[in-house]
Amino acid sequence: MSEHTAPAEDDAQSSTVVGTTLATPEFDRREVTMFGEHDGHAVGVIGKMLVGFFFYSFLVMLVVAIWTMRDGGQVDSHAQHGQHSEEGEE
């Protein structure tokens, strides 16, 4: 009988130790300061990435707009020939 009770006591003690370490997620001031610094750095990096992606999209939009205006938009050469041939038949 004593063989069966010993592991149960060990499990109870280990669960108590695990339970107390997981139940107290308090941080000291140094860790809180470090988290704040890392968060500030992450915000700066993400902000720079968003600005970069915005300007990249803006430049691509400008290039496509200028290209479209220079070439006159979408011109279907077959459609124009078809209209001229219909006008000639009338």
HEC string of 40-74 equals: HHHHHHHHHHHHHHHHHHHHHHHHHHHHHHHCCCC
Q: Record the pTM.
A: 0.47
The answer to whether residue 15 sits within a structural domain is no
pLDDT at 11: 55
Which CA distances in Å does 15 have to 19, 21, 23, 50?
A: 6, 10, 12, 46
Domain for residue 10, yes or no? no
1 found inside a domain: no
Domain count, the chain: 1
Q: Does residue 21 fall inside a structural domain?
A: no
Question: What domain range is 61 assigned to?
Answer: 28-90
Assigned domain for 36 exists? yes
- The predicted-structure confidence for 29-70, as pLDDT tens digits, reads as follows 899 899 999 999 999 999 999 999 999 999 999 999 999 888
20 within a domain of the structure (yes/no) = no
Q: Is 27 in contact with 35 (CB distance < 8 Å)?
A: yes
What is the radius of gyration, based on Cα positions, of the chain? 36
